[in-house]
Amino acid sequence: MSRKTGRLLIALLLTGCAITIGVGGYVARAATSVSDPFAALRVTRVAAAVPIAPFDLKALDGGTVRSNELAGKVVLLNFWATWCGPCKEEMPSLAKLQTQFDSARFQVITITTDMHPRGIKQFLDYLGIHLPVLFDESEDVSRTFMVRGLPTTVLIRPDGRAVGRAVGPRAWDSEESVALVRHILEETK
């Protein structure tokens, strides 16, 4: 075998190894994403599934929502404000996620300390979004959920225990988000 042929074979062998390692890494990441829907969406699991503190908040539509009314559903609580750019950007994806599931089993609830109902209504109407907006006037609920940055999202199991938390925007209408909600729904059957 000539030196030129030998170098070519070594180059091909190294290229094959690199491709195999690269594909193997991709497969490992894909397997992790499939096996752990929390990791796929960068949602932190809440240790020991902590029970949420009860709350009673006024809603944009004039009603009141109590936490005990959400029992039996998987709930996605999203803390946001109209002055928060990433919050406003992710709002349409939250609305789309809600449409993927029966509202008797899954509910997206948004909570804000932004006390401008008229501006909020105009913003939601402009985007055609119909999600419950609750006002955390005293910021007690935000403190209870340790909201330090917006948006912050907390996922709650049907038994009223927090199971996941995400700080920062997410594509809530993505396949990974739908898979995560399905996982929580299936896990709690």
Q: What is the pLDDT along the chain (189 residues), one digit of tens a residue?
A: 666 555 544 544 444 444 444 444 433 344 444 589 999 999 999 987 778 999 999 999 999 999 999 999 999 999 999 999 999 999 999 999 999 999 999 999 999 999 999 999 999 999 999 999 999 999 999 999 999 999 999 999 999 999 999 999 999 999 999 999 999 999 877
Determine how β-strand 152-156 pairs with β-strand 162-167. Answer: antiparallel
Phi, psi values for residue 17, rounded to 5°: -65, -45
User: What confidence score (pLDDT) does residue 189 get?
Assistant: 73
User: What confidence score (pLDDT) does residue 5 get?
Assistant: 54
User: What confidence score (pLDDT) does residue 35 get?
Assistant: 84
Asked if 131 contacts 108 with a C-beta cutoff of 8 angstroms, the reply is: yes
End-to-end CA distance of the chain: 65
> DSSP letter at 178?
H
User: What confidence score (pLDDT) does residue 161 get?
Assistant: 94
Q: For residues 21 and 23, give the distance between their C-alpha atoms in angstroms, rounded to a whole number.
A: 6
Q: Which residue is listed with tokens 């949420």?
A: 52
Asked if 175 contacts 187 with a C-beta cutoff of 8 angstroms, the reply is: no
Q: For residues 135 and 116, give the distance between their C-alpha atoms in angstroms, rounded to a whole number.
A: 10
- In the chain, the largest separation of any two C-alpha atoms, in whole Å, equals 84
Q: Can you give the pTM of this predicted structure? A: 0.81
Question: What is the residue type of 41?
Answer: L
User: What confidence score (pLDDT) does residue 4 get?
Assistant: 58
The CA-atom distances, in angstroms, between 93 and each of 68, 96, 102, 148 are 26, 5, 16, 22
As to burial, measured by CB atoms within 10 angstroms (0-12 exposed, 13-18 middle, 19+ buried), residue 148 is exposed
Determine how β-strand 74-80 pairs with β-strand 106-112. Answer: parallel
